């Protein structure tokens, strides 16, 4: 008798535990009763149900990450390999509708097919080198927006798409490196040319300054000034201890040292 009671108690305990589920934080529950999805999601907590008539499907509504390795066709017809992360979440209020129309495997049913279509469409608008430069963020944004346009009304929010790894074809990688090196050489040459142009301008300005100074001097050398300077020169010669011969017409002197005359 005691054994029978224990068995009955054990069956009741198993039945009670089998009729309970816990909906955790970051999840909602979707109740399916007699094969029919109930339209109202179940919030977090412990839920008791009849396991013979009802099933509760737990659907995560926190941010989820799908890692995908996908070939990206480029505008010039090349194929670029990339590891891509898709960050998305489910709208909790639409979880019953998602389970009813798509089932629990909604990632494979709708998210990944929409992603593959969007990534092919967007990447084919860009050159392969663009996926390896600053335009990567632009490509990621375009893929996200195209996915959102197709998935938002179905209860999915695409938070971001990340092109984590880009593997270019070997020949293209070498071509990009050669181009970058050529651009650097061109920049260095442009710097040298700019420096030479600045130096040429400096020399022109210097020559113009000398020319303007000579012009001012020439304009200021009047006959009266020349005669005055000659008188000043005669006065200085008169105080010199050296013997000199001065040949002059009265306005401009020619000075010859005496030792030159004696040699002649």
Which residues touch 188 (CB under 8 Å, ≥6 apart)?
Answer: none
DSSP per residue over 163-214, as a string?
EEEEE--HHHHHHHHHHHHHHHHHHHHHHHHHHHHHHHHHHHHHHHHHHHHH
Distance separating alpha carbons of residues 59 and 27, to the nearest angstrom: 5
Higher-confidence residue of 226 and 62: namely 62
Q: What does the pLDDT look like over 236-253, one tens digit per residue?
A: 766 766 666 666 655 555
Mean pLDDT of the region 7-34: 68
Q: What does the pLDDT look like over 94-153, one tens digit per residue?
A: 999 999 999 989 999 999 999 999 999 999 999 887 887 778 899 999 999 999 999 988
Burial 223-243 (b: 16+ CB within 10 A, else e): eeeeeeeeeeeeeeeeeeeee
pLDDT interval class at 164 (50, 70, 90): confident
User: pTM score, two decimals?
Assistant: 0.58
Residue 1 DSSP label:
-
Alpha carbon 14 to its chain's center: 59
Q: What is the pLDDT of residue 146?
A: 95
Q: What is the pLDDT of residue 115?
A: 95
Q: 50 vs 39, 54, 188, 211, 257, CA distance in Å?
A: 18, 6, 78, 108, 136
Distance separating alpha carbons of residues 259 and 264, to the nearest angstrom: 9
Distance separating alpha carbons of residues 154 and 99, to the nearest angstrom: 11
The arrangement of strands across the sheet holding 36-37 comes to 36-37, 27-33, 54-60
Distance separating alpha carbons of residues 117 and 110, to the nearest angstrom: 11
Distance separating alpha carbons of residues 177 and 99, to the nearest angstrom: 50
pLDDT > 70 in the chain, percent: 70
């Amino acid at each position: 008798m005691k054994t029978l009671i224990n068995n009955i108690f054990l069956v009741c305990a198993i039945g009670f535990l089998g009729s309970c589920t816990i909906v955790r934080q970051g999840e909602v529950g979707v109740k399916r009763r007699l094969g029919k999805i109930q339209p109202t999601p179940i919030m977090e907590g412990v839920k008791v149900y009849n396991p013979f008539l009802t099933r509760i499907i737990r659907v995560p509504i926190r941010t989820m990450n799908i890692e995908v390795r996908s070939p990206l066709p480029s505008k010039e017809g090349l194929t670029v390999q990339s590891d891509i992360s898709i960050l998305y979440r489910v709208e909790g209020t639409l979880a019953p509708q998602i389970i009813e129309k798509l089932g629990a495997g909604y990632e494979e049913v709708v998210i990944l097919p929409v992603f593959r279509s969007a990534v092919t469409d967007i990447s084919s608008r860009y050159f392969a080198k663009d996926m390896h430069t600053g335009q990567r963020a632009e490509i990621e944004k375009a893929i996200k927006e195209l996915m959102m346009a197709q998935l938002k009304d179905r209860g999915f929010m695409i938070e971001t798409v990340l092109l984590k790894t880009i593997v270019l074809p070997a020949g293209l990688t070498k071509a990009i490196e050669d181009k970058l090196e050529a651009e650097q050489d061109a920049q260095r040459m442009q710097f040298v040319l700019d420096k030479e142009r600045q130096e040429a301008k400096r020399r022109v300005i210097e020559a113009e300054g000398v020319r303007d100074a000579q012009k001012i001097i020439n304009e200021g050398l009047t006959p009266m000034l020349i005669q005055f300077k000659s008188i000043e020169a005669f006065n200085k010669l008169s105080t010199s201890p050296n013997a000199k011969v001065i040949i002059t017409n009265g306005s401009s002197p020619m000075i010859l040292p005496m030792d030159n005359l004696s040699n002649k």
